[in-house]
């Protein structure tokens, strides 16, 4: 490295500590990047790649961005999952001896972004940390640096549950120890799609004692300290806005794994990955950013405590009953700024005067919000009102101190109110009087010289000057004017009087601006003291916002208050899928009932494609989730149990990132449900087994149904195209057949979308293909083949009827290789008899689907030799 210039050597020394980040190296008015950083950044940011001499034999790749527009470029890189280290000049170049001293002042990462387009107003930007305890249990902590909220929990189970929590949180970055197993790192990157960062320091620091004060477990303290030490090391600034970390238990909430959350489209749609079309999109009638984030948090974590759920329902009902007050409340909430993120910006030191004016306007709404809620005249709503802290001292300070329309910059003056500070008022008076004097001087000089175009101006180089056009120079009095600058068409002069007044005016303006900045910093420090109160206020306002949101939606969409029971009974009358109903604008939407109790634990749903099986299943799950987050539900009547978990297997999609096929994804999701479900869970299985051969799929589907029926007892909705499975109703006492009705009219299928008892009478696959406008000749040929198959199946057979298990086994055996030239059925060999005996002795009820598939595979291998 000795051949490089001192500046490049300095760059390399700083870069050595930030190998996993782009280093934005400040040179004058630009942030420059060199070597591999420059090559990669030029590609990612689509900026010009150049080069420079760095003292070595070859020119060094280089690219750069202007410092005043760097924020946009940084944001682009961070959105793509990269980290950016900001290296600033930390000494004045004019006084520097040798190379200007430079240091990294902040590391910006996906989990530490504080503002910008990448930070959605109504979404948290979580950064998490994980600590492994002997690879058998894990600590998980997370915080949103922009709002200061933090949580920690203990997960005493497989690492996949940790990954699921990270996925549900949508954490942008995860901080781990360098010793964490690489298998876990790979799972986090592939399944949670998150940026990985490393921090080994878990030592407790004095400045963070208040943040971990409520945590008793040393293991959980260690997990939180890993995160806090990482934030302190990378952000290099105040973290005073971080709130005490709250411990929670994942078993306190309804568990919805990542796949089920995706399948039900709770917060984003499967196709577009956007909010529109999701349950969150439907529900979001919140008026504040804080309320929007609270709503998403409630959807991600529905309650299972009946008392807490019914408390929310009661409050929603009160809000619902007071229409006019609720409308006024919505108008007031609309004027409330994002108090949580403002507190974060105050702590970080990047708040401006306009932010403080918005804070003032927000606080001015609090007394009105308090008065509106008191009008509800209920004991529970009065409790909400009492938690509203108007922070009157802060409101008064901001009213006295900050001008109503201040500039964005905090260093150019024009921020502080007249009368707030006596010294500032004196400077301002001197400045204003000086400008009046300049105006008078200009008029006097015009009268003295007779030059009407004469004017007094100012620039930063020469200060104040008198400007006269060249055609009027002969009118000037000799000896009075001193030439300062020559222009093409004019000359600029100064006089002794002008120079004297200039010193007074400029000194007053300069000192006024400096003092205003000092006063603003003092005000900001005072606001900082109110951060805990502002955060508490933000929390209660966000809760009020979500409750009024639920009331508004329930009124607009005609939802009803659900009733809970302990008999595990589901009674839904005229239930609707909330999102589909809104998209269809309620026109033509067909509501459906659902009844399940202790004698009716499973519903086997048959019916043609496009008839509405999946929609019906989803609406049952969404109704349960809506009820347990505290909202009313889309039905005429709803009686529900409280579910501890929801599992779904809906839709088919290959997991290309993990290299898993549709069928493997099906089996993994089925295994997740079967392994973790309890009798208090809700399971939705849509077309399980269709990803493999007919008989494989049918056998697995039946085995799964029997396993859930006999061993788990969870409320289950199971849709299928295997009509043969409908005979299970005769053998499984708690399974009932239902179907989505359809009818033929003039040779065309008409979907009625109505759920009826019993199995479907026929399939309409060819009709659906016809609706999809497959070629006419193909449709005709399909109908001919179907008629032939139906005729052959109606031929009398001497063989006695067999149940579906035996039929599936015989059909599966027909796939095995037979001896060459065999034209007629032969007696099985002794080896085949032995394998058939093994098959007969297998107890399918003791196997999960994957085990059943493995057993069949082993028997097939034996038969093939």
- Which residues belong to the annotated binding site for ATP? 607-614
CA dihedral 132→123→294→387, nearest 10 degrees, is 100
How do beta strands 30-34 and 60-66 pair? antiparallel
Question: What sign for the dihedral angle of Cα 585, 587, 590, 596?
Answer: positive
Cα dihedral angle (251, 256, 257, 263), rounded to 10 degrees? 180
Q: What is residue 750's three-state secondary structure?
A: strand
Instruction: Name the residue among 165, 412, 138 with its Cα closest to residue 300.
Output: 165
Q: Are strands 748-757 and 490-494 parallel, antiparallel or unpaired?
A: unpaired
Q: Which residues pair with 253 in a beta bridge?
A: 303
Binding residues: 607-614
Q: Which residues pair with 748 in a beta bridge?
A: 745
CB-based burial label for 649 (10 Å; 0-12, 13-18, 19+)? buried
CA distance 856 to 746: 46
Q: What one-character DSSP code corresponds to residue 244? A: P
Q: Is 587 exposed, middle or buried (0-12, 13-18, 19+ CB in 10 A)?
A: exposed
Rounded-to-integer distance, Cα 316 and Cα 633, Å: 12
Helices assigned H by DSSP within 349-421: 353-374, 379-386, 392-401
Q: Which strand ranges, in their side-by-side order, compose the sheet holding 195-198?
A: 195-198, 173-176, 126-133, 137-144, 150-155, 246-247
* Distance of alpha carbon 722 from alpha carbon 829, whole angstroms: 33
Cα atoms in the 13 Å half-sphere on the side-chain side of 715:
24
Contacts of residue 184, defined as CB under 8 A and 6 or more positions apart, other chains included, come to: 130, 132, 159, 176
Q: How far is the C-alpha of 858 from the C-alpha of 864, rounded, in Å?
A: 10
The DSSP string of 504-525 is: HHHHHHHHHHHHHHHHHHHHHH
- Read off the DSSP letter of residue 644: S
Q: Which residues of 291-304 are buried (b: 16+ CB within 10 A; e: fewer)?
A: bbbbbbbbbbbbbb
């Amino acid at each position: 490295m000795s051949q490089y210039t001192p500046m490049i050597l300095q760059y390399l020394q700083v870069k050595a500590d930030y190998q996993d980040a782009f280093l934005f190296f400040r040179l004058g008015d630009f942030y420059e990047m060199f070597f591999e950083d420059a090559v990669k950044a030029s590609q990612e940011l689509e900026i010009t790649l150049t080069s420079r001499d760095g003292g070595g034999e070859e020119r060094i790749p280089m690219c750069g961005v202007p410092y005043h527009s760097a924020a946009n470029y940084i944001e682009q890189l961070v959105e793509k999952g990269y980290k950016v280290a900001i290296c600033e000049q930390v000494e004045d170049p004019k006084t520097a001896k040798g190379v200007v001293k430079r240091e990294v002042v902040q590391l910006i990462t996906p989990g530490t972004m504080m503002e910008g387009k990448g930070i959605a107003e109504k979404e948290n930007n979580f950064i998490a940390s994980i600590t492994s305890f002997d690879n058998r249990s894990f600590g998980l902590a997370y915080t949103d640096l922009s709002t200061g909220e933090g949580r920690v929990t203990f997960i005493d189970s497989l690492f996949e549950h940790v990954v699921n929590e990270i996925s549900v949180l949508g954490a942008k970055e995860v901080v781990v120890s360098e010793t964490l197993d690489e298998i876990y790192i790979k799972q986090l990157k592939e399944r949670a799609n998150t940026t990985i960062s490393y921090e080994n320091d878990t030592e407790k620091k004095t400045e963070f004692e208040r943040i971990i004060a409520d945590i008793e477990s040393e293991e959980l303290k260690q997990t939180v300290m890993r995160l806090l030490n990482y934030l302190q090391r990378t952000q290099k600034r105040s973290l005073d806005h971080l709130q005490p970390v709250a411990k929670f238990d994942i078993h306190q909430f309804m568990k919805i794994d990542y796949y089920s959350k995706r399948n039900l489209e709770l917060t984003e749609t499967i196709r577009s990955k956007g909010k529109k079309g999701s349950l969150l999109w439907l529900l979001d009638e919140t008026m504040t950013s804080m309320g929007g984030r609270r709503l998403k948090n409630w959807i991600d974590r529905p309650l299972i405590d009946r008392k807490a759920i019914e408390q929310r329902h009661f409050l929603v009902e009160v809000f619902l009953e007071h229409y006019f007050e609720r409308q006024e409340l919505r108008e007031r909430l609309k004027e409330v700024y994002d108090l949580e993120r403002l507190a974060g910006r105050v702590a970080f030191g990047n708040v401006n005067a306009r932010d403080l004016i918005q804070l003032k306007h927000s606080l001015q709404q609090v007394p009105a919000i308090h008065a509106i809620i008191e009008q509800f005249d209920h004991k529970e709503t009065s409790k909400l009102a009492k938690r509203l802290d108007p922070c009157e001292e802060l409101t008064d300070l901001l009213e006295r101190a900050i001008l109503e329309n201040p500039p964005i910059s905090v260093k150019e003056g024009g921020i502080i109110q007249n009368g707030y500070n006596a010294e500032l008022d004196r400077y301002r008076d001197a400045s204003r009087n000086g400008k009046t004097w300049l105006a008078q001087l200009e008029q006097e000089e015009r009268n003295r010289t007779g030059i009407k175009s004469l004017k007094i101006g100012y620039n930063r180089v020469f200060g104040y000057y008198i400007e006269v056009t060249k055609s009027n120079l002969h009118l000037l009095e000799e000896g009075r004017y001193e030439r300062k600058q020559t222009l093409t068409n004019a000359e600029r002069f100064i006089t002794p009087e002008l120079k004297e007044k200039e010193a007074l005016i400029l000194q007053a303006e300069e000192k006024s601006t400096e003092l205003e900045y000092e006063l603003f910093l003092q005000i900001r420090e005072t606001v900082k003291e109110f951060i805990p109160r502002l955060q508490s206020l933000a929390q209660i306002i966000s809760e009020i916002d979500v409750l009024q949101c639920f009331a508004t939606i329930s009124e607009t969409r005609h939802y009803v208050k659900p009733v809970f029971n302990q008999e595990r009974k589901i009674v839904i009358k005229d239930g609707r899928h909330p999102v589909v109903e809104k998209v269809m604008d309620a026109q033509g939407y067909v509501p459906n009932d659902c009844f399940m109790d202790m004698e009716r634990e499973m519903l086997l749903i048959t019916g043609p494609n496009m008839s509405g099986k999946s929609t019906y299943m989803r609406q049952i799950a969404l109704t349960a989730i809506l009820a347990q987050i505290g909202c009313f539900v889309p039905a005429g009547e709803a009686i529900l149990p409280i579910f501890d978990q929801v599992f779904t297997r809906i839709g088919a999609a290959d997991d290309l990132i993990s290299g898993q096929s549709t069928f493997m994804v099906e089996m993994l999701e089925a295994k997740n449900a079967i392994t973790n479900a309890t009798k208090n869970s809700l399971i939705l299985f849509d077309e399980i087994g269709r990803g493999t051969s007919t008989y494989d799929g049918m056998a697995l589907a039946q085995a799964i149904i029997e396993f859930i029926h006999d061993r788990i007892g969870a409320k289950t909705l199971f849709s299928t195209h295997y009509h043969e499975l409908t005979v299970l109703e005769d053998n499984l006492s708690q399974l009932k057949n239902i179907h989505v009705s359809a009818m033929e009219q003039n040779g065309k299928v008409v979907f009625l979308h109505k759920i009826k008892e019993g199995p479907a009478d026929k399939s309409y696959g060819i009709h659906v293909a016809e609706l999809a406008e497959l070629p006419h000749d193909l449709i005709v040929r399909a109908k001919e083949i179907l008629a032939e198959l139906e005729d052959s199946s109606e031929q009398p057979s001497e063989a006695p009827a067999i149940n579906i298990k035996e039929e599936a086994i015989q059909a599966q055996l027909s796939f095995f290789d037979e001896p060459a030239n065999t034209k007629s059925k032969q007696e099985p060999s002794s080896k085949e008899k032995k394998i058939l005996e093994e098959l007969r002795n297998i107890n399918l009820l003791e196997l999960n689907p994957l085990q059943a598939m493995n057993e069949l595979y082993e028997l097939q291998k034996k038969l093939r030799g």
